Amino acid sequence: MKQVMHSSQLQAALDFSMAAERNPRTMQPSALCTSTEFDRLIECRMDRISIEERSRQMSLVRSKDTKPELFVRKLLFSMKFRYRLHAKDLPGKPDLVFRSQKKAIFVHGCFWHRHAGCSKATTPSSRTEYWLPKFARTLERDQENLEKLHTMGWQALVVWECELKNMDALAARLRAFLND
């Protein structure tokens, strides 16, 4: 099992923090690190770690089996829906797949996948030359994957990390999608 794979911004911040602690070049405290806001924390941690380390950390944070995905899996299981995981043969490798119905569910982190209008989808104020193209690529890729799935006759649902706060509403949305 590879290290930690959580996607909440808090966990991401902690991961970056731990990585920073291990890296002697990054031991200097940053003046930016005064806010307790998670995104600011991530931002200042990110500024302190090397680009290679940053890529590695991000790939871990963005990996499969993230906490929100586990939550959705448990919820669906409790609702008696049975699914397959991470269909590698489908565009975007959907997190949950219902093959006989040709339905796929993506569980997206609001920050990485830029949930429109969501308070979690903050934009770091520094290193925008790094972040903005990265966000644009993610959005473009997500859109392409949804279009490809649609062309293949699949229906896709995106569950956002922030939706996990209201389990009843999420359960209703999942049920509506899967019973449709």
Q: Which residues bind Zn ion (CB under 5 A)?
A: 110, 115, 118, 120, 160, 162
Output the smallest distance, CB 75 to Zn ion, in A: 17
Output the smallest distance, CB 162 to Zn ion, in A: 3
Output the smallest distance, CB 138 to Zn ion, in A: 14
CA–CA distances in Å: residue 30 to residues 14, 27, 50, 51: 15, 9, 14, 17
Output the smallest distance, CB 166 to Zn ion, in A: 12
Distance CA 103, CA 166 (A): 23
In the bound state with Zn ion, the residue whose beta carbon lies nearer, of 98 and 160, is: 160
In the bound state with Zn ion, the residue whose beta carbon lies nearer, of 33 and 162, is: 162
* Token pair for 146: 């949804």
In the bound state with Zn ion, the residue whose beta carbon lies nearer, of 5 and 159, is: 159
CA–CA distances in Å: residue 114 to residues 48, 53, 81, 118, 179: 23, 23, 28, 8, 28
Our measurement of the distance from residue 22's CA atom to the centroid of its chain's CA atoms, rounded to an integer in Å, reads 25
In the bound state with Zn ion, the residue whose beta carbon lies nearer, of 87 and 107, is: 107
